[in-house]
Amino acid sequence: MSVRTILTLAVLAAVAVVAVAIALGTDQSADQDPRIGTLVFPDLNDRANDVATLKVESGHGTLTLQRADGAWTLKESDGYPVVPVKANGSVLDLATLRFHEPKTERPEKYAKLNLLDFDAPGSGSTRVTVQDSAGAMLAELLLGNSKFNLPGTKTGGIYLRLPGEQRAWLAAGGLNLSGLPGDWLEPTVLHVAGARIKRTEIRRPQAPPVVITKRNPKTLVYTLDGVPAGYKVRYDEEPKLIATNLEAFELEDARRRGAIEFDPARTTRTLFETFDGLQVVAETTAIDGKYWTRFSASASAGSQAGGEADAINEATKGWVFRVADYRGERLTKRFEEMLAPGN
């Protein structure tokens, strides 16, 4: 290979590197910024216990995590409990975030990094603010795309901008500041093992009931009662899926009772009965395409399930839960939807 060829290839390689840097928003003139490797919020670690509010604003809306007396709650969910390790872990993640690589100062390149101003049309950025109980700002930043493979780190990185600065940065550190309530809230509302369910009854207003029974507590065979001649159950597994719907029953959001209207004409009542005498009632309504459910529990006379019923009532009293679509659909299933022509 001639010297001229080698020089030509070297020049082309250099041009390619520059082109990639430009495409990714890298500013070569800023690669000696003294903040490289330093903490984005150097004081936050020492003041982590002073954090009273962590606000996440995204395309999903606003979530405000609030801490009082060591307990975290979500304001927009009427103060429902937040998983402590998730909230505390997010504060720690912010406190350990480090400047890794300076990026563009040119606003026209922000969109590629999802770092447009939060209020700008078409913005996909997330705005995060952290304050103490007096309202003093402990951290504030705009988050963009994540970079999962970041050489030299175990956590990956994320693109960000700080208030009052045009410079975008790639920061090293793991952040998972979801804009969905269900990713923060204590997830499990209740749990009743499906194998315990003896009978399930769904009653919709002005509709025939759905009744599913299991005759042998040692099997997982569930039967849809009342299937008319010439019809069969459309999906063999559906009776089982409906009857076992209370296993690890998780929420997606929560509200205080009274915040969601349960119009009797639009509310479905689902009863779950166990072989050992527990009875759980789920009342479900759909509002704007979302399912909301409230629970109550009781125990049959002489059974040993009274303590469990009391625990369910204590955990769910005063609350209404938004549930996953598939949970809501199973709680409100119509009899005719479960049938198909056949023998």
What does the pLDDT read at residue 33? 87
What does the pLDDT read at residue 150? 86
Among 76-80, 151-155, 261-265, where is mean pLDDT lowest?
A: 151-155
Among 6-15, 44-53, 63-72, where is mean pLDDT lowest?
A: 6-15
CA nearest 318: which of 278, 266, 249, 260? Answer: 260
Task: Please tell me which residue, 3 or 330, carries the higher pLDDT value.
Answer: 330
Strand order in the sheet with 168-172: 80-81, 71-74, 61-68, 51-58, 126-132, 137-147, 157-161, 168-172, 98-102
Task: Please tell me which residue, 167 or 28, carries the higher pLDDT value.
Answer: 167
Q: What is the mean pLDDT of residues 215-244?
A: 95
Residue 32 binned pLDDT confidence (cut-offs 50, 70, 90): confident
What does the pLDDT read at residue 85? 96
Instruction: Give yes or no for residue 17 having a pLDDT over 70.
Output: no
Q: Which residues are within 8 A (CB) of 150 and not within 5 positions of it... i.e. 6 or more apart?
A: 100, 156, 157, 170, 172
Task: Please tell me which residue, 239 or 27, carries the higher pLDDT value.
Answer: 239
- Average predicted confidence (pLDDT) for the chain: 91
